[in-house]
Structure 1
């Protein structure tokens, strides 16, 4: 495409199949979910899965897509559209920054504020969202993927951090918790399904209004969860990866 990229949205995770449904792969899960939502919103054939390309040279699975901007009622805003790169780094989580740096250079995106990173967050309750922009390293301390991105491009990128909460027992090590699968127990999967929808709405609002403070106020740390949660029987959202 000849037009410039408006945003890169990177979901963090580990690429190995055994981690597909784990809490630490919340970012990966969201990117697959978002790709499916965007495909449906664009009116594309539901039989066609969203296509990602495995770019070994970029160390990432990448989807380059354009979608029309709509307002809160779903009405198109003039002829405006947004070019977005959806990506999932293929490095280990702790080396996510290298892939993101490669993708930013490849698509000539120099403004880190146009990079949105989606990752899991132990310190945010399940079903709730933390949104951050700028700040210092302390705001990302403890998440090795985010720390590695900071080491490559600094702290000015936008973070959407998906709450996975902490272990319900002191006997469960943090590593075991984050690398464990989302569970039906305590409606954990249902809460995460709600969070996927909430994060998508927040990104849409950010795309329309370009106002991170507004989005944080409206969507981050929502104290009241819905009385009724949609039942989630799976957090696997199929995509078609070319070049595997």
Structure 2
């Protein structure tokens, strides 16, 4: 494609089937969910599941796609078209920065504000979205994937942080908690499913106005979670990975 990139959306996680539905893979899960949601919106049923290309040179699974959608603007309807790179780093979580940097360089994305990173957040309750942009390293300290990206490209990028909460006091070590799968207990999977939908809508709105303050106000905490949630029996959203 010749048109420039509008956004690079990177979901953080660990590659390998054993990590597929773990809390620390919230970013990976979201990217697969988003790829499916975008394809369905555009009526690409014949191309399902969405195709990613495994780019070993970029250390990432990558989907380069044009997303076209319409929205109401006052009394008129507006059609918008975006070229979006969806990516999942194939490095270890703690080395995500090198993959993100390679993808941005390959696609000639020089403005780090076009980078949106989606990751899990221990300090935010399940079902709650945190939205951040810029700021100091302290805003990302504790998440090794985000810290590594900062070490490579700085802090001037957008973060959508998906709440996974912390284990009950003294019940489970943090390292075990984040590498354990989401469960049905306490509606955890249902809350994460709700969060996938919420984050997708937040990203769509952000693509239209790029007003991070407005997105925080509309989608981030404090926010009341609906009493009725869609029941989630799986957090696997199929994608087709082609070796490049």
The normalised TM-score by structure 1 is 0.96
**What SS is found at the alignment partner of 1:57?**
coil
* Cα shift at 1:76: 5.7
Q: Distance in 1 between matches of 2:233 and 2:46?
A: 20
Task: Provide closer, same or farther for how the CA distance between residues 46 and 228 of structure 1 changes in structure 2, counting only shifts above 3 A.
Answer: farther
Structure 1: segments with no counterpart, 5+ residues: none
Per the alignment, residue 19 of structure 2 pairs with 19
**What SS is found at the alignment partner of 1:101?**
helix
* Cα shift at 1:222: 4.0
1:170-201 alpha-carbon deviations (Å, 9 max, x no partner): 13100000000000000000000000000000
1:59-94 alpha-carbon deviations (Å, 9 max, x no partner): 000000001132259x8624x310000000000000
Per the alignment, residue 180 of structure 1 pairs with 180
Q: Is the 8 A contact 2:206 2:215 kept in 1?
A: yes
Q: Are residue 237 (structure 1) and residue 234 (structure 2) matched?
A: no
* Cα shift at 1:46: 5.4
1:191-237 alpha-carbon deviations (Å, 9 max, x no partner): 00000000000000001111111000000014310010000000000
Per the alignment, residue 91 of structure 2 pairs with 91
The answer to which of 164-173 and 33-42 deviates more is 164-173
**What SS is found at the alignment partner of 1:204?**
helix
Q: Which structure 2 residues correspond to residues 19-98 of structure 1 after superposition, within 5 A?
A: 19-45=19-45, 48-71=48-71, 77-78=78-79, 80-98=80-98
Q: Distance in 1 between matches of 2:47 and 2:206?
A: 29
Q: Is the 8 A contact 1:32 1:238 kept in 2?
A: yes
* Cα shift at 1:99: 0.2
Task: Provide closer, same or farther for how the CA distance between residues 194 and 72 of structure 1 changes in structure 2, counting only shifts above 3 A.
Answer: farther
Q: Is the 8 A contact 1:69 1:208 kept in 2?
A: no
Q: Is the 8 A contact 1:114 1:157 kept in 2?
A: yes
1:113-135 alpha-carbon deviations (Å, 9 max, x no partner): 00000000000000000000000
